[in-house]
Structure 1
Amino acid sequence: MNDLLHCRLMQWPDDQAAYEAAVTENPANAGITTGTRRKRSVFNYSKLWANGRTLKIAFMDSPEAEHKQKIIDAASQWLPYINLSFDFVDDLQGDIRIATRNNDNSSMLGTDALLIHPDWPTMNLGVKPEHEDFEVIVIHEFGHALGAMHEHQHPQANIPWDKPKVYEFYQNREMNPLTREEVDRNLFAPFNTVDAIYTSYDRKSIMHHPVANTLTVGDWQVSINRKISKKDKRLMKLLYPK
């Protein structure tokens, strides 16, 4: 299996704090819903950056120039489809803070990055520049940083997972094994968010992890997606309109 899930999508565990950070950054994150504020905070809000702003993106551990440029080039592939700007700096301070000297690939979801201690990274890019899917993984993690969820967790995906095999595969893999809880959170649980901020299910999305036929019931698989899809572009234009 071509294993892109060296990715852990990280979300702040306190829903109320995450809601307040999201709405302070961008009041539109509250959405248009009914019910009490607390109910809305837990179940139905988004984590998008304020439209039109510049995100300061800090390289915390000063990777080599070629390595850093490859990250910048990959991340910048989102820019034609969003009304945001990126300011890449070698610094410890940034809205998004990247660490590269580990084996983990992970990102906080959108504005959850605002809740991370300023001395800690909000994104880990442990993938090495020579890896065949380096560009894909960087684009994928930046998609999370912009507020995009995993596409295989789209409410319409209906993937026929063979769950016992999936748990065994991810718990026993050599690189970055996942606990049963992490498998549930990163693969099985459908995301629950404001209807207006996602398009119909997209098997070609760069936010979709590859799904091996050996991990599903019947004949069902998705190969690794290496390009930002048409629906990815449409979604980002919806999230951050110009």
Structure 2
Amino acid sequence: MNGIEDCTLIQWPDDQQSYEVAINENPKNAGSGTGTRRKRSLINYSKLWENGRTLKIAFIDGPDDEHKKKIINAARQWLPYINLSFDFVEGLEGDIRIATKNNDNSSMLGTDALLIHPAWPTMNLGVKPEHEDFEVIVTHEFGHALGAMHEHQHPEANIPWDKPKVYEYYQNREMNPLSKDEVDRNIFTSFNALSAIYTPYDRKSIMHYPVADNLTLGNWKILTNRKISKKDKQLMKLLYPKR
């Protein structure tokens, strides 16, 4: 397992079901986020939790106390910037359910977690506590659980990818290889969401993959962002404003 670039953001494949769950949780998911009115549709909706609620977060496979403590400390880094609370529990009774014994790092996007079978995890944190980027990866996955997309897929990112090299790198790497379609979906395709998500592109976002210079055209790279950025904070305050 490498680093944050091994994260898999998972969205429920049935847009109708995803939409219905999202607006049942938070009717504002069907509206606009920044005051710009947009037509309600299955394309343009967000997956945000009801503002002000407490999210129950369950550890379902019994990590030891130190492991749990490190996950909790990383997740809580978001709390100063959102109008939500976290309640960490054991077992399967959670809105978000964390498994730590798989080999991948992944999360459902926001309210899509409500569509997962109650006996299954909605977030996998296979990263080991001794990994140098453990805190970064956990914080990143919780960003997805709160409804944040990958920043390198921002519509304004305009990263000068050297696409043949990117395909070759991800298809041939030893850990978690990706098919061409998976690279297109997880690297190149811009996300489509409500205008609230369209805050200015942020190279420093903790939701951004690192970008190696040898995978781009010209002199263009981004190292691993290890802190929640100023714009990350602004986005979360916009998505979950204090009352």
* 1:177 corresponds to: 177
- 2:102 maps to which residue? 102
List 4+ stretches of structure 1 deviating above 6 A. Answer: none
Query: What is the letter of the counterpart of residue 184 of structure 1?
Result: D
In structure 2, what is the equivalent of residue 13 of structure 1? 13
Q: CA deviation at 1:92?
A: 1.2
Amino acid at match of 1:89: V
Distance 1:101 1:95 in 2: 19
- Contact (CA 8 Å) 2:3, 2:133: kept in 1 or not? no
Q: Secondary structure at the match of 2:5?
A: coil
Residues 50-65 of structure 1 aligned to structure 2 (within 5 Å) = 50-65=50-65
User: Structure 2: how far apart are the matches of 1:34 and 1:228?
Assistant: 29
Identity %: 77
Q: TM-score, normalised by structure 2?
A: 0.95
Q: Are 1:240 and 2:240 an aligned pair? A: yes
AA paired with 1:101?
Answer: K
SS of the equivalent of 1:174 reads: coil
Give the corresponding residue for 1:31.
Answer: 31
The answer for unaligned runs of 5 or more in structure 2 is none
Deviation at 1:197, TM superposition (A): 3.1
How far did residue 196 of structure 1 move? 2.5
Structure 1 residues without counterparts, runs of 5 or longer: none
Deviation, 1:185, is: 1.4
Letter in 2 for 1:191: F
Q: Is the 8 A contact 1:54 1:84 kept in 2?
A: yes
Tell me the residue number matched to 2:89: 89
Asked if 2 retains the 8 angstrom alpha-carbon contact of 1:103 and 1:176, the reply is no
SS class of match (1:185): helix
- Between stretches 188-197 and 69-78, larger displacement belongs to 188-197
Once the 2 structures are TM-superposed, how far is the Cα of residue 199 of structure 1 from its aligned partner?
A: 1.2
Cα separation, 2, equivalents of 1:154 and 1:145: 18
Tell me if the contact between 1:74 and 1:139 (Cα under 8 Å) persists in the aligned partners: yes
Aligned residue pairs: how many? 237
Closer, same or farther: CA 172–64 of 1 in aligned 2, 3 Å: same
Distance 1:34 1:227 in 2: 32
Instruction: Supply the distance in 1 between the matched residues of 2:69 and 2:177 (Cα, whole angstroms).
Output: 29
Rounded to whole Å, the distance in 2 between the matches of 1:168 and 1:221 is 18
How far residue 198 of structure 1 moved from its aligned partner, in angstroms, is 3.2
- The whole-number CA distance in structure 2 between the counterparts of 1:118 and 1:137 is 24
- Indicate if the aligned counterparts of 2:205 and 2:231 stay in contact, CA closer than 8 A: yes
Amino acid at match of 1:115: L
1: distance between equivalents of 2:3 and 2:138?
A: 14
Instruction: Give, as a single letter, the amino acid of the residue that structure 2 aligns with 1:4.
Output: I
Range that drifts further, 232-241 or 168-177 = 168-177
The corresponding residue for 1:116 is 116
User: Secondary structure of the equivalent of 2:121?
Assistant: coil
**Displacement after TM superposition at 1:3 (Å):** 4.1
Q: Is the 8 Å Cα contact of residues 197 and 238 (structure 1) preserved in structure 2?
A: no
Instruction: Answer whether contact 2:3 2:137 (CA < 8 A) is retained.
Output: no
The residue aligned with 2:226 is: 226
1:44 equivalent in structure 2: 44
Residues 44-88 of structure 1: CA deviation (Å, up to 9, x unaligned):
000000000000000000101000000000000000000000000
Deviation at 1:34, TM superposition (A): 5.2
Q: Name the CA distance, whole Å, in 2 between partners of 1:193 and 1:215.
A: 27
